[in-house]
Amino acid sequence: MSARQDIFGSPDQQALLGRGRALHDLTHGNAGYTYYGRTVGIVSPDRAPFAELVSMTRLQGASHFAHVQNDQMPALVQQLKPHDLSAVQYARWVGDASALQTARETVTSKQLPNGITSHWLTDESDNRLRASLASAALACGVLPPHLAVLSGALQPGLCRMAVTDQGEVVSCAAAASYMHADHPDGQVECWWGMLSTVPDWRGFGLSLRLGAEVMLEMARRYGFMRFFTGIEPGNTASEVVCTRLGLTLTDSSTLSVADPGQLSGGRMTK
Q: Which of the listed CATH numbers 3.40.630.30, 2.40.160.60, 3.40.50.150, 3.30.70.20 matches domain 11-258?
A: 3.40.630.30
CA atoms within 13 A on the CB side of 224: 28
Q: Residue 51 CA to chain centroid, in angstroms?
A: 25
Contacts of 216 (CB under 8 A, 6+ apart): 100, 103, 104, 107
Instruction: Give which of 90, 15, 130 is closest to 270, Cα–Cα.
Output: 90
Q: What pLDDT, on a 0 to 100 scale, did the predictor assign at position 264?
A: 86
138-167 tens-digit pLDDT:
999 999 999 999 999 999 999 999 999 999
| Residue 162, beta-bridge partner list | 118, 171
163-181 tens-digit pLDDT:
999 999 999 999 999 999 9
Q: What pLDDT, on a 0 to 100 scale, did the predictor assign at position 265?
A: 85
**In whole numbers, what is the pLDDT of the chain averaged over residues?**
96
Instruction: Give which of 93, 87, 84 is closest to 63, Cα–Cα.
Output: 87
pTM of the complete model: 0.96
Contact 190, 61 (CB under 8 A): no
Instruction: Give which of 29, 68, 79 is closest to 46, Cα–Cα.
Output: 68
% of the chain surpassing 70 pLDDT: 100
103-141 tens-digit pLDDT:
999 999 999 999 999 999 999 999 999 999 999 999 999
Residue 193 to residue 230: CA distance in whole angstroms? 8
* pLDDT > 80? residue 1: no
Residue 153 to residue 239: CA distance in whole angstroms? 30
